Amino acid sequence: MEKPCSLLVHFDKGSAAMANEIKADLEGGDGPAKADAMRRAISLLLNGETLPQLFITIVRYVLPSEDHTVQKLLLLYLEIIDRRDPAGRALPEMILICQNLRNNLQSPNEYIRGVTLRFLCRLSEPEVLEPLVPSVLENLEHRHHFIRRHAVSAVSAIYRLPHGDQLIPDAPELVERLLASEQDASARRNAFLMLCACAQERAVAYLLSNADRVAEWPDLLQMAVLDLIRKVCRSQNRANKGRYITIITSLLSAPSTAVVYECAGALVSLSSAPTAVRAAANTYCQLLSSQSDNNVKLILLDRLNELRTTHRDVMVGVVMDVLRALASPNLDVKKKVLDLVLDLLTPRNVEEVVLYLKKEVVKTQAGDLEKGAEYRQMLVQAIHACAVEYPEVAGSVVHLLMDFLGDTNVAAAVDVVLFVREIIETNPKLRVSMIQRLIDTFYQIRASRVCSCALWILGEYSLSQSEVESAIATIKQCLGDLPFYTVSDEGEINDSAKPAQPVVNSVTVSSRRPVVLADGTYATQSAATETISTASVAPGSLASTLNLRSLILSGDFFLAAVVACTLTKLVLRLEEVQPSKVESNKACTGALLIMTSILQLGQSSYLPHPIDNDSYDRIVLCVRLLCNTGDDVRKIWLQSCRQSFAKMLAEKQFRETEEMKAKAQISHAQPDDLIDFYHLKSRRGSKLCFGDCVVVLNDFFYQHGGSTASMSRLMHTDVCIIENAFEG
């Protein structure tokens, strides 16, 4: 905009031709008509019209009106018109307004006085304000607080003008006297703000003289006190910082949450002592648990995160208080809480944190939480991060999380199975119990990606004879009876006009991510889908255990290839741990029968699309391997895959460690940043010591990687300037 404006109203029906209609309504209309005409005139002025011919009409016909609405609109009109000529002087016509304003300031109606005083706050013409000053000062002692409140604001606005101290030279004394006897909260706040802006030393003296009663002041005045303390401590000597901190501490128990929030922020800005930071953190945590607004919770979490970056040791003590904010139903709040807590983990509190997260996971099983699946996924990821950083806590949660392998939320189930895969490699003591738990819960899995990863775990970490035999039996049970179809079924499909789909109902979710096989190689996947069975069956019935069969019959031949690879690994390992060759050959024959049945299904017309070439080649490779096994191939299948996975985890941990080191080495200050010489004061007195300056500059420069030559140039330029500045 071309000029400052305190009022903005949209008006899209205005035109210059309306000026005559407005003038006619102002001259002959009654109160409501004049008010409507004034509204249209103000709207036209705000749209850029000048309307110079209306001023005299308004002076003649609007000034004498006693209608309160008309008088208020008149003040708005005077506020937005251009009151100066091109030379910058006040228009002579404004003198005609002074008498009306004086009458308003002396009106028996409190509303007229108040709105007129509020209007004077927006005037900047000394020629207009000078004759009104006596009337403004009289209103400082009016019996009604509404008038005193706006009178203080008018005095403050006039005094802050370029030559305002000439118009009201004793304004600070008058306002200070008013502040001592005033009872209205808003009037006291306006008076205190006026002293803070115009006579800061008087405001500081008043504050320190009433320091014991600040906690009893109204919240509006307490907020003004906090603003003053910040301003004083930034611009002046901090000699009274201890008294200021005492005042802020007394306000931490104020009933107003806004005051308490501002106190915590002011306390951190004034002091970095652990007690002050701990008090601020506890205050934020109390507000976090007491406030119901999600936006307020997010702001408080941001403040706590700022404290974490600078005072992590103190924040570690309030981790459990922060975790209580997980009771909020908002997922954004929950995510911020978990991110903050994960950055504050230590060996001392990790067990408490994991136990709390474990209880939250159990709560999500109730099913009455809104977006419980997404929240459970966040909790699983958080527990995964805790277990990776502190492996000793993995045993207390891994078995609970394995109950969610069959979760209908595919992302949460995938997070769980990836967590299980990593923990079973990094915690050898838990392998036996985890394998047994995985075998017991495998039939509950309904997602293809989860099944693939679970099969890889069974194939790699089933080491004993009982584990291998249980894994093979579980896979056979989930596949069901062979073959997958009969010739009569295929004939019925060929004779039907519309091919029939597999019996099991399913929900298929498309996935375009690259497919990584269990041994670390890549493969194309023509049916890259994640399928969850939706058949409503009893949990213990036979149909509920045929998860692999339903997924394969839906066309998921990538999963079929993973089944073939897993059976191959299990048979090869059974040959090593099973002393009876008869049992080994029987298991090998059963695995070959399953693979050939899958190949027969993929090449038949029973399914809408045939098996893809990549899955076909992998299954054929498994068949050939079981028919003719060599020592080198056996070593690759039984050892190399797990070694590659262990190497991948080690590289991942190394990469994360390097990233943390890189973040820790990021400098928050640069060699050319300005130095606050307040910190270079000698402890022996208040004078700056040149030797201390040189030492601090030297340390500062070498901490930021400076060379000897650069240091020499610095010593001959900047330090010489400092020496000259502090001579004597």
**Residues 247 and 235 sit within 8 Å (Cβ to Cβ):** no
The pair of three-digit structure tokens given for residue 332, joined into one six-digit string: 């954004």
| Strand pairing category for 522-523 and 515-516 | antiparallel
Is the pLDDT at 706 greater than 50? The verdict is no
Residue 629 identity (one-letter amino acid): T
Ranking 9-18, 101-110, 176-185, 573-582 by mean pLDDT, the lowest is 9-18
Residue predicted with more confidence, 384 or 499: 384
CA diameter of the chain: 119
Question: What pLDDT does residue 656 have?
Answer: 78
Q: For residues 125 and 76, give the distance between their C-alpha atoms in angstroms, rounded to a whole number.
A: 16
Residue 725 identity (one-letter amino acid): A
CB within 8 A of 21, min separation 6: which ones? 37, 40
Stretch (H or E) spanning 430: none
Stretch (H or E) spanning 353: helix 350-363
Bridge-partner residues for 379, per DSSP? none
The model's confidence at residue 146, banded by pLDDT at 50, 70 and 90, is very high
Q: For residues 480 and 551, give the distance between their C-alpha atoms in angstroms, rounded to a whole number.
A: 12
Q: For residues 582 and 230, give the distance between their C-alpha atoms in angstroms, rounded to a whole number.
A: 86
Ranking 8-17, 354-363, 451-460, 613-622 by mean pLDDT, the lowest is 8-17
CB within 8 A of 318, min separation 6: which ones? 278, 281, 282, 285, 304
User: What does the pLDDT average to over 615-643?
Assistant: 85
Q: Which of 74, 151, 90 is closest to 126 using CA atoms?
A: 90
Question: What pLDDT does residue 487 have?
Answer: 61
CB within 8 A of 118, min separation 6: which ones? 150, 153, 154
Q: For residues 519 and 641, give the distance between their C-alpha atoms in angstroms, rounded to a whole number.
A: 5
**Residues 414 and 449 sit within 8 Å (Cβ to Cβ):** yes
pLDDT > 90: what percent of the chain? 27
Ranking 497-506, 627-636, 646-655 by mean pLDDT, the lowest is 497-506
Q: Which of 349, 421, 413 is closest to 386 using CA atoms?
A: 349
Length of the chain (residues): 728
Q: For residues 251 and 204, give the distance between their C-alpha atoms in angstroms, rounded to a whole number.
A: 17
Is the pLDDT at 505 greater than 80? The verdict is no
Q: What DSSP string runs through 508-569?
A: EEE--SPEE-TTS-EE--TT-EEEEE-----TTSTGGG-HHHHHHHTT-HHHHHHHHHHHHH
User: What does the pLDDT average to over 77-97?
Assistant: 78
Which letter, b or e, does each residue of 182-197 get, where b requires 16 or more Cβ atoms within 10 Å of its Cβ? Answer: bebebbbbbbbbbbbe
Provide the 8-state DSSP code for 502.
Answer: P
Is the pLDDT at 320 greater than 80? The verdict is yes
Summarised one tens digit per residue, pLDDT across range 16-55 is 567 778 888 888 777 788 888 888 888 888 877 777 778 8
**Residues 114 and 146 sit within 8 Å (Cβ to Cβ):** yes
Q: Which of 680, 724, 725 is closest to 698 using CA atoms?
A: 680
Q: Which of 250, 312, 306 is closest to 284 using CA atoms?
A: 306
CB within 8 A of 721, min separation 6: which ones? none
User: What does the pLDDT average to over 238-242?
Assistant: 74
Q: For residues 161 and 469, give the distance between their C-alpha atoms in angstroms, rounded to a whole number.
A: 92
Q: For residues 354 and 350, give the distance between their C-alpha atoms in angstroms, rounded to a whole number.
A: 6
Question: What pLDDT does residue 514 have?
Answer: 42
Mean pLDDT, the chain, rounded, equals 79
Is the pLDDT at 184 greater than 50? The verdict is yes
Q: For residues 68 and 109, give the distance between their C-alpha atoms in angstroms, rounded to a whole number.
A: 10
Question: What pLDDT does residue 83 have?
Answer: 76
Q: For residues 573 and 567, give the distance between their C-alpha atoms in angstroms, rounded to a whole number.
A: 10
Residue predicted with more confidence, 517 or 162: 162
Q: For residues 478 and 462, give the distance between their C-alpha atoms in angstroms, rounded to a whole number.
A: 18
Question: What pLDDT does residue 714 have?
Answer: 41
The model's confidence at residue 542, banded by pLDDT at 50, 70 and 90, is very low
Is the pLDDT at 696 greater than 90? The verdict is no
Is the Cα torsion angle 448, 450, 451, 452 positive or negative in sign? Answer: positive
The pair of three-digit structure tokens given for residue 160, joined into one six-digit string: 């802050």
How far are the Cα atoms of 250, 260, 297 from residue 188, in angstroms, in the given order?
20, 20, 31
Is the pLDDT at 124 greater than 50? The verdict is yes
Ranking 69-78, 136-145, 537-546, 661-670 by mean pLDDT, the lowest is 537-546
Please confirm whether the linkage preceding 483 is cis (ω < 30° from 0): yes
Is the pLDDT at 460 greater than 70? The verdict is yes
How many C-beta atoms lie closer than 10 Å to residue 685's C-beta? 8
Is the Cα torsion angle 12, 18, 21, 27 positive or negative in sign? Answer: positive
Report phi then psi at 179, rounded to 5: -60, -35
How many C-beta atoms lie closer than 10 Å to residue 429's C-beta? 10
Question: What pLDDT does residue 513 have?
Answer: 38
Report phi then psi at 559, rounded to 5: -65, -35
**R_g over Cα of the chain:** 40
The model's confidence at residue 690, banded by pLDDT at 50, 70 and 90, is very low
Residue 653 identity (one-letter amino acid): Q
Summarised one tens digit per residue, pLDDT across range 369-411 is 667 778 888 888 888 888 888 888 888 888 888 888 887 778 8
Q: Where are the alpha helices (DSSP H) in 133-240?
A: 133-138, 145-159, 164-167, 171-181, 185-198, 200-209, 219-235
Q: Which of 667, 639, 459, 462 is closest to 563 using CA atoms?
A: 459
Is the Cα torsion angle 227, 231, 234, 240 positive or negative in sign? Answer: negative
How many C-beta atoms lie closer than 10 Å to residue 157's C-beta? 20
Is the pLDDT at 682 greater than 70? The verdict is no
Q: For residues 121 and 157, give the distance between their C-alpha atoms in angstroms, rounded to a whole number.
A: 5
User: What does the pLDDT average to over 284-298?
Assistant: 92
Is the pLDDT at 724 greater than 50? The verdict is no
Bridge-partner residues for 507, per DSSP? 532
Q: At what angle do helices 448-461 and 465-479 cross, to 10 degrees?
A: 150
The pair of three-digit structure tokens given for residue 381, joined into one six-digit string: 């990821």
Is the pLDDT at 153 greater than 90? The verdict is yes
CB within 8 A of 136, min separation 6: which ones? 105, 117, 120, 151, 154, 155, 158
The half-sphere exposure of 27 on its side-chain side, counting CA atoms within 13 A, is: 11
Q: For residues 556 and 584, give the distance between their C-alpha atoms in angstroms, rounded to a whole number.
A: 29
First to last CA, the chain: 52
**Residues 319 and 351 sit within 8 Å (Cβ to Cβ):** no
Question: What pLDDT does residue 677 have?
Answer: 54
How far are the Cα atoms of 6, 127, 128, 149, 159 from residue 156, in angstroms, in the given order?
18, 17, 16, 11, 5
The half-sphere exposure of 633 on its side-chain side, counting CA atoms within 13 A, is: 12
| Strand pairing category for 529-533 and 506-510 | antiparallel
Residue predicted with more confidence, 596 or 364: 596
Residue predicted with more confidence, 728 or 119: 119
